[in-house]
Structure 1
């Protein structure tokens, strides 16, 4: 099969289009023919070796945890799916090697859900990691009807989902973004504010009584700014900085969860969740997708089209 891979730790320029063996399919896994693979910052961070203290990488390393595709073959105990089923998945395993930027990927059934019919392949591939991160973050802080929430990097991959999911729960959403993305945030259901110096004052103008929950999807000063405007300083969650724990907040590293992924698919099919694809490139141009992700200025998702 064709795949994009690294022979050693490196960056976009080190990605190569390779011919690799078809992946082995375990008893509780299925073989998915990949239509599209979502690109996330964690992909190039693993590729560069930034996460080698917590994730073992084996080479050649095929990056990617997000997939949208069609089941081609099932393991003997993978009774949840059948050949021909259209699926999406957050195919994270305990090590990094056999990722989704390939024509085929073996995926444990616990990482998969049925593809939402309302989304095309590119959109569907953008759902799993970012959508689950947002969904699980809101659950972790118990966001619900009537809450006012602050979402940092609200126009990015995770932030775009968090805005829509919080709004669907009946929450009021204040989202940080550059001015060029303010119209986009309003379409998603957020009240936009410009990030940078004076952010806390701008948030207080919109919510003088304070906010009920805050989500750090960008890093930097987001945690400290959040705690200046929160009613309860502990109601801040970061997916970027584990140091939030020392400041009394919460940290989240997204987990594969079939039920949560199914809930996201159901919301998409109900018209309550959409996916903006900022850039889509063919498999052989995956390096360009990495570079765009590294720029930090994406609106929505970056996707690699495989077949």
Structure 2
């Protein structure tokens, strides 16, 4: 009897071990390296219409650390302890009721919650093409959907020229490439070290800062059809002055844009399956670039988020999960 009890206890321990996972969490607002920690928690269970994946890679986004620092708390509640991360790639581990598009073992990527963990729930996903590495797939959703959405909101005519403020980061890089595929000319601003990078993406590069209006006028003597603020650097009035019409300025990073008559492009994601499939297929065909500046193991998530918060990005940072 004693031996049987011991065996049953060991089984219970094994079962409990199987449902535990490593995850990144924070318990209060603050800077990444001050509040983020790795903890062991239970695996999340997918609800109807959701899937659970064994995470292979998760993209780092400015919304991660902005939410963590409390910049969204006036309109978005964070329940502590909170996870971090909204996009990921991985292998399907479990499916919720009503899910028929994928099966356990399929490689997928998409939008989810608390994706910087060993396992995560996805609410929107597509299958990952074989030609797209997990690290790339995990960094596609936010940048590509945001870029697609803000270009739709700007609605510039093919053949016209637009200005992209902050064109070298993850979203900016996507905007440049998708805008060029729509037949738009793109003037993109970035630091001196990213000028050649923007040129490779298909943009006409220029630096930001004093004299931008004069530089843009020389590069686009026929005028600018619209401007996209990706960086959120507080230059909405300057962009309006360059374009001449506040309704033709769209920001994805500066909530104050509407105070000046410009527009703020916000979620939820639109046409997400179409956008993710299209961008992934373009990448697989060599028609789309996604520059990954650096990859970090899960335990270095705080460091990756701190680097992102410095706003000196080229492309994306990615967390990889073994």
TM-score, normalising length from structure 2? 0.88
C-alpha separation in 2, matches of 1:232 and 1:215: 13
C-alpha separation in 1, matches of 2:234 and 2:72: 22
Matched, 1:16 2:37: yes
Matched, 1:69 2:82: no
Please report how far the alpha carbon of residue 297 of structure 1 lies from its aligned counterpart in structure 2 after TM superposition.
0.4
Please report how far the alpha carbon of residue 44 of structure 1 lies from its aligned counterpart in structure 2 after TM superposition.
1.2
| Residues 1:124 and 1:140: Cα distance change in structure 2 (over 3 Å) | same
| Number of residue equivalences | 299
Residue matched to 1:302: 317
Please report how far the alpha carbon of residue 84 of structure 1 lies from its aligned counterpart in structure 2 after TM superposition.
1.7
| Residues 1:68 and 1:49: Cα distance change in structure 2 (over 3 Å) | same
Please report how far the alpha carbon of residue 274 of structure 1 lies from its aligned counterpart in structure 2 after TM superposition.
1.4
The correspondence for 1:184, drawn from 173, 197, 204, is: 197
What do the CA deviations read for 1:244-280 (whole angstroms, capped 9, x no partner)?
Answer: 2233322111323222222222322332211100111
Residue matched to 2:301: 286
Residue matched to 2:110: 89
| Equivalent residues of 2:144, 2:275 under 8 A apart | no
Please report how far the alpha carbon of residue 74 of structure 1 lies from its aligned counterpart in structure 2 after TM superposition.
0.8
The correspondence for 1:173, drawn from 186, 195, 199, is: 186
Residue matched to 2:18: none
| Residues 1:166 and 1:32: Cα distance change in structure 2 (over 3 Å) | same
What do the CA deviations read for 1:162-185 (whole angstroms, capped 9, x no partner)?
Answer: 001111112111000111101100
C-alpha separation in 1, matches of 2:69 and 2:241: 34
C-alpha separation in 2, matches of 1:40 and 1:25: 24
Deviates more, 1:261-270 or 1:277-286: 261-270
Please report how far the alpha carbon of residue 18 of structure 1 lies from its aligned counterpart in structure 2 after TM superposition.
0.8
Please report how far the alpha carbon of residue 112 of structure 1 lies from its aligned counterpart in structure 2 after TM superposition.
1.2
What do the CA deviations read for 1:136-167 (whole angstroms, capped 9, x no partner)?
Answer: 11111223521211111100111010001111
C-alpha separation in 2, matches of 1:216 and 1:123: 24
What SS does the aligned partner of 1:20 have? strand
| Equivalent residues of 2:55, 2:89 under 8 A apart | yes
Residue matched to 2:81: 60
Please report how far the alpha carbon of residue 234 of structure 1 lies from its aligned counterpart in structure 2 after TM superposition.
1.7
Max Rg structure? 2
Residue matched to 1:32: 53
Residue matched to 1:4: 24
C-alpha separation in 1, matches of 2:197 and 2:267: 25
The correspondence for 1:105, drawn from 108, 120, 129, is: 120
What SS does the aligned partner of 1:58 have? coil
Residue matched to 2:252: 239
| Equivalent residues of 1:30, 1:106 under 8 A apart | yes
Residue matched to 1:43: 64
Residue matched to 2:8: none
The correspondence for 1:276, drawn from 291, 298, 304, is: 291
TM-score, normalising length from structure 1? 0.93
Ranges in structure 1 where 5+ consecutive residues have no aligned partner: 92-97
Matched, 1:140 2:153: yes
Please report how far the alpha carbon of residue 232 of structure 1 lies from its aligned counterpart in structure 2 after TM superposition.
4.2
| Residues 1:100 and 1:184: Cα distance change in structure 2 (over 3 Å) | same
